[in-house]
A = this chain, B = another copy of it.
């Protein structure tokens, strides 16, 4: 299962989107899935990771080759419509941070039995 993004050697860019959900779910899951699908088709897309806890706090981090690819994704038509609906219905607050990834490392447990 691919839940953590496989990203290239830094530098590359990350968009950290943290949000507080209103609790109104109306179409939210469908939109969220659709946005991941659309983002993955954008030039410069490197991957995405997303989690939302029971308290409604969500964090989605998307990874990109360049600031230009992030700007193009922000301006994409269907994404702009989702942003507007996000402010109107789904999110009570959010913060969005554009970051340059400078260093990365990881850990993977040995599979049991191998």
Instruction: Please tell me if the beta carbons of A93 and B57 are within 8 angstroms of each other in the complex.
Output: no
Residue of B nearest to A10 (CB): B97
Contact of A98 among B4, B61, B98, B102 (CB under 8 A): B102
Cβ-neighbour of A57 out of B49, B95, B105, B107 (below 8 A)? B49
Query: How many A residues have CB within 8 A of the partner chain?
Result: 42
Q: Are B97 and A100 in contact (CB-based, < 8 A)?
A: no
Given A16-B61, A20-B3, A58-B51: A98 and B106 within 8 A (CB)?
no
A52 in the interface (beta carbon within 8 A): yes
Contact of A59 among B61, B91, B102 (CB under 8 A): B61
A16 to chain B, nearest CB (A): 6
Within 83-106 of A, Cβ neighbours of B (below 8 Å) are at: 87, 91-106
A-B contact pairs, 10 of them (CB 8 A): A4-B93, A10-B97, A14-B16, A14-B97, A22-B109, A51-B51, A54-B54, A59-B59, A93-B107, A100-B102
